[in-house]
Amino acid sequence: NAYGISGWGNGEKECYQKENALVSGGRLKLVAKRETAMEAGARFDYTSARIRTKGKAFWTYGYFEAKMRLPTVTGLWPAFWMLPEAKFQGHGWPTNGEIDVMEAKGRLSQEIASTTHSANASLADVYHTKSTQVSSIGDEHVYAVLWQEGSLSFFVDGVSFFTVEESTYQNNYSSYTNGAPFNASFHLILNLAIGGQFDGGRLPSNDWEESAMSVDYVRVYQK
């Protein structure tokens, strides 16, 4: 559950707990809190929630979208993203890929980013990323990716702002053929992280207590 344990980690500070994920008023809320938690002998000063469909629901290609409101709080890192169900030829991340449909820095209330990760010939991370502006991440927006054979296109409120083509995500890694690594089954993840490398390790202010990532729906379309 906790970042920094069992291979998860980007220098984040939260401990994920199931009780921080709840449904109320027809919405899913992932709640980040300032509170002490212990896991595997480690102490955490914050708790939050992460949900993922690994082993339960996974897809190869499709249109994936989520309608949500995000917290505009420094130090919070909400994300809607995808990871593969399996390793690629025995290699894990980044060789088997990652699709970041939406990531936001809580302190930058009018910006989100979309990214793909894959590997080069040395199995090091190669990423393609682009940011775009929104009215406010605290407003309701629909974030989406159209994942097709040969490309991934990212959308905000139905408007595409970024496309990654197969010729760029192959990155001269000879084991990538037929659209690998983005030709396999991926599952969905929603989470609200605290701290971490995405925004330089920034943390919420000392008077911050609680915020939520509020999700209206997540939808998947396939032909």
Catalytic residue among 103, 111, 165, 210: 103
Catalytic residue among 12, 14, 65, 98: 98
Q: How many CB atoms lie within 10 A of CB 6?
A: 9
**Catalytic residue status for 210:** no
**Catalytic residue status for 98:** yes
Which residues does the annotation mark as catalytic? 98, 103
